[in-house]
Amino acid sequence: MFIGEASKLSGATQRAIRLYESIKLLKVARSGSYRVYSKENVETIKVIKEAQSLGVTLAELLTLLNEQQDFDWYLMRDFLNEKYRMAEEEIARLEKQKSHIRLCQSSIDQCLKALDSDL
């Protein structure tokens, strides 16, 4: 199949697919001057898109490829475990920040009430 069909089946833009190929995340067969995409290529594109939706960068994905240009699923699992841990830490940090904001808002409200009552 050609890039248009691969794009439709994977949900990735043609530009994104060309980028994946240019940075060596995707290896595509050629027939003359045309790129010919396989079902495996489409599945790889879907994996790339899914990984990006989880916050994995293309550079990080490159480190998760093995010599056969296939993803090392053990490394991927460990990498996602680390991403999850980092997300949990960020959520905890944001929860603390949210609580601090609420305290500041409450303090400001009390000051404003005191000012209004003095008038």
Euclidean distance between CA atoms 76 and 109, whole angstroms: 48
pLDDT, tens digit, for every residue of 66-79?
Answer: 766 788 889 889 99
Q: What is the pLDDT of residue 35?
A: 93
> pTM value?
0.75
pLDDT, tens digit, for every residue of 95-109?
Answer: 999 999 999 999 999
By CB neighbour count within 10 A (0-12 exposed, 13-18 middle, 19+ buried), where does 102 fall?
A: exposed
